[in-house]
Structure 1
């Protein structure tokens, strides 16, 4: 039997109020008591709108990824050159940008780190988001080639994968070491990748 939430507005409120908590602590690290405290709601109210804690985490991932996706894609759309569109995605991740991503780091990196061996539904959602991001960057490179900004022999997919790997790698290094030298070095590496494909 399909689960029907009592209230879509309450369901959305639960997602918004637990987005930071679950991104920081993960599904396994978040208790029902944590959800109650974050929302100010009873267990009954939460489970009247979600069948279980996993469903809350899935909805929260969608919410967090949509926030990040909008920042990335809107940021790219605000630039006229394809080089700037690519670089904007890198620079938005630099800590100095103070971009309003969900606190706790990248929801993709956090979710995959936790869910790869523990929750196939969450892992699949993260994979779909990552593939969507990859396609978006690949299309930017393809359009840059069409506009004669990038070299015709550029491997579009490989370029997108390198940029995303550098962005996520920079996040990993900064969160683990708190040392900006690694982030700055990786940002410069991303800039070189983009410079090297320019005509």
Structure 2
């Protein structure tokens, strides 16, 4: 890796932490230069503008979270266990999230609006990819007989993601992991009582 590539990657990594903690609007180019020790001219040698940095920073943060989820998924043999992974990786979101600042998708989606079409498009891709992964797990559970055949795949994927992100938001706002943990218990009960096929 060249010195220029190392510099660019450092800007992305540091900016990812900054944006995920302070938000896009709350972070300035001056904040990035202070954090990286690189002057504005050096930043602009690698990026056209703040939006480009933000997109790359989000992708970087998302890749770390995705890797954490993937590693946890590999430890699960059931579709139910795999769905719960998405919440369990954030079980200690207040003190030890998979990426500093919480969920990159939630943070970006909360800030994205029609005034930032590039960031909104990136958040939408993240949403689509996550829902696609959840639908695949649910479909796998139906095919294996673990879940009922009449289960609505899209509805459960949306519900799972909503429970995950809602728990993260409430826990971070209150500074207490109890919301994510209660949602883990609630989703577990729901999957057991409403979604699992009878083995009797």
Normalising by structure 1, what TM-score? 0.89
* Distance in structure 1 (CA, Å) of the matches to 2:48 and 2:196: 51
TM-superposition CA deviations, 1:30-56 (whole Å, max 9, x none): 112111111111111111000111111
- Change in 2 beyond 3 A, CA 1:97/1:173: closer
- Change in 2 beyond 3 A, CA 1:101/1:90: same
- Change in 2 beyond 3 A, CA 1:84/1:97: farther
How far the C-alpha of 1:90 sits from its partner, in A, is 1.8
Contact 1:65–1:107 under 8 Å retained in 2: yes
Contact 2:94–2:177 under 8 Å retained in 1: no
Which residue does 2:152 correspond to in 1? 155
Give the count of matched residue pairs. Answer: 194
Which residue does 2:164 correspond to in 1? 167
| RMSD of aligned alpha carbons | 1.9
Normalising by structure 2, what TM-score? 0.89
Which residue does 1:142 correspond to in 2? 139
Q: Say whether residues 1:185 and 2:174 are aligned partners.
A: no
Gaps of 5+ in 2: none
TM-superposition CA deviations, 1:132-185 (whole Å, max 9, x none): 111111111111111111111111111111111001000111122224443333
| Equivalent residues in 2 for 1:51-70, closer than 5 Å | 51-70=48-67
- Change in 2 beyond 3 A, CA 1:159/1:103: same
Gaps of 5+ in 1: 1-5
